Amino acid sequence: MDVKTIGIIGCGLMGSGIAEVAAKSGFQVLIREQNEQLLKKGLGRIESSLGRAVAKGKLSAEDKAAVQTRLSGAVGLDDALATCDLVVEAVTEDAGLKQGIFRALDAICPANTILASNTSSISVIDLAAVTRRPNQVLGMHFFNPVPVMPLLELVRTVQTDDATLDSARAVGERMGKKMIVAKDAPGFVVNRLLIPYLLDGIRVYEQGLASREDIDNGMMLGANHPMGPLTLTDFVGLDTTLFVADVLFAELGETRFKAPTLLRRLVSAGHLGRKSGRGFYQYGS
C-alpha cells in the first residue's frame, strides 16, 4: 500500500513525536486524543519541538509552516479516521484500553487500512485478535525522543502478512528510520535486552555497591554507553520500566525480569524520573 495519510491515536510523549516525524516526512497526519486538554498539550509539544528545530537551523520557517498544515487534531475516534491508510496507536500500556481502540478502529477504517501499535511490551497478536484484519496488524515500536532516535522496531505476529510488513517498512524508510524486525514475543528485541540491564543497575545501587554517579560513570566510561543505567531509567521513566518488567516477569518467569523493591518504592512515591522532576536524580529547580 502507498501510505499517504497516517492516524495517530494518543498525543502524549510518544504519539506527538510520531506525529511530528510523520508530518515532517510528508504524510498527512490525523491526531486523536481523549480530551481537549491532552490534545492541546500534545500539539503544543509538537509546536515547541518544531520551533527548536527552526531556532537551530535544522528546519526553515517555511518548512515548519508546511509541516503544520499536514497536522490536524481532534478528540475521540471519529469517521475521519476512515481516510487513513495506516493508524498507529500510541496510548498508555494498558492491554484492555488498546484492545478497545483496536475494536473501534476496525469498525471505522476500511478493509485496506493497516493498524499498528507502538506498544513496548504488550502482545501484538492480542490486539490483532479483536479485529477482522489480523493479517494487517503489526507493532511499530518507536523510541523516545522519536525525532532523534533512529530506530524503529517492527513487530511481526504469526498472522502479519508480507504486504503489511513491506508497507510499514516503506513508511519507516520515508521517516528516515533504521529498522529491525522482531517476532511478537515478550519485550521483542530491545526491551528483552534492555530491561534486565536497567534492573541490574538498580540492584547494584540498592545493594550499596557504589554511588549512583559511579555506577553510571562506570558504564559510560568502561562500556562506552552514552548514559548509565540509572540516568537511562530516569529518561525512560521509572513507571514505564516497572510496567515492562512486570509484563516480562509474568510472561517469562525469569528472575532477571523481577523488579527490585527500590524501583517499586520510588514509583509509589511518584518519583518517575525526568517527567516528574525526580527519580534516581533530581531535575530542574
Positions annotated as catalytic residues are 120, 141, 153, 191
> Which residue shows C-alpha cell 525480569?
257
What sections of the chain are H helices per DSSP? 13-24, 36-55, 61-69, 95-108, 124-128, 162-174, 190-206, 212-222, 229-236, 238-252, 261-268
Instruction: Read off the DSSP letter of residue 30.
Output: E
Compute CA distances 191 → 55, 101, 126, 168, 175, whole Å. Answer: 34, 24, 19, 21, 22
CA 236/CA 267 separation, integer angstroms: 13
C-beta separation of 246 from 258 below 8 A: no
Number of Cβ within a 10 Å radius of residue 210? 13
Closest CA to 5 of 36, 32, 26, 34: 26
**Phi and psi angles of residue 99, each rounded to the nearest 5 degrees, phi first:** -60, -40
C-beta of residue 231 within 8 angstroms of C-beta of residue 281 = yes
DSSP characters over 123-191: -HHHHHTTSS-GGGEEEEEE-SSTTT--EEEEEE-SS--HHHHHHHHHHHHHTT-EEEEEESSTTTTHH
151-156 vs 137-142, strand pairing mode:
antiparallel
